[in-house]
Structure 1
Amino acid sequence: MSQPGLWPRFISLEGGEGVGKSTNLAAMAELLRATGRELVVTREPGGTPLAEDIRQLLLAPRNEAVAADAELLLLFAARAQHWQQVILPALRRGAWVLCDRFVDATYAYQGAGRGLDTALIDRLAELVLQGQGPALTLLLDVDVATGLARAQQRAALDRFEQEQLSFFERVRAAYLVRAQAEPERIRRIDASQPLAQVQADVAAVMAAYIEMCE
């Protein structure tokens, strides 16, 4: 049974850089669509035209230092728009929602990574989400060095991807702490395995979860 306020049809996918979120998100979406369910696939930051504009502000490398508080507030501004305009309406009409990152990422990146007080994140999360969120989160986990090596094989790095190794170590540690604290909601997937095995593990979690939600 999910906690009060958590939507059983809301699933998020989390993880640091280079864990394979895009590939596995597509596989998860295919599994859900194969069951004939209405599915909304979205991402954070982003998901609406306004939130996507904020995403570009957040990710673009720039000479100006971005204050951690400013970054946090921009993220929650995008999240408020996304939640009200896309996620909540979909959940209320009975659709499933699959989201590439959600509030766990804020605790990992802005809380642990940037060193912001988690009490501040708690207050903003309560203001925007009022205790609501995904009932299932899959955490793709790989050691930071491997993940960054994978990420560097892609296109030009965004502002977050240019951070120091220690930043990503803090992010990963925070994700693992959250997974340990909420084992029923957050399921860790070993993303250091070959892709076929990672996708098999993801599919097993998804199949069991969908069956439980029937």
Structure 2
Amino acid sequence: MQPVFGRSAWPIHSRVTAEMIQIQSEQPLTVLTSAVVGGGLATATMILNRHVESSYCPPDPEAEIQDWLQAKGLSRCQTVVLLTAAHVDEGGYRRVESEYFRLAVWATAGVGNAARAGLDGPVYLQEMPGTINLILLIDGRMTIPAMVNSIITATEAKAAALQDLCVTDPQGNIATGTSTDAIVVASTQEWVGSYLHSYAGVASPLGRSIGQAVYQAVREAVENERRRRQGGE
């Protein structure tokens, strides 16, 4: 496990393996997430982005994840778990440190089921493993509306990256994401530079950095996936 930031409100460490991205915090983080386990507005000391096979489809994903956590000796309490069929050890990563906040972004991407929001397409009664997963870790104090705003900014940046990379859906339309994306926004809620982040739009200090970091991390993750496919792996 490596420290995420050079300095932070308290120790936060991470590691990346072929099986998962693991982020561990010594104190609870405030999280807003669409995760299968630990989803919603909650607190968490561990965030995981777990690699699963593309055929993964248990009848009860939450129960399967709880069993997996137990088998790995990982806590099931205050834990957030994302799922993806993408290779998590080939994702994108960016870190930004300023006088007002510290930010780390992890992105994993597989665009085999790329989709464009607003168009007609297939629907599924059961979610499949997310294929563009984003984790935003912020050392700074944020309002809950700002956390929601950061999801908007991150989603816009993701869509911009896919557009610039000419990622398309099966009908040839420029994709805005995939049909199963997920996100985690986690904040220490500690003061950095005595600044409260009430906004996270692209014109705010935090939002600008979120947009840039997510854009770059998603580009890196998609480009890594393309190289893997071109190599026949």
Same fold (TM over 0.5): no
Of Structure 1 and Structure 2, the greater strand share is in 2
TM-score normalised by L of structure 2: 0.23
Of Structure 1 and Structure 2, the greater helix share is in 1
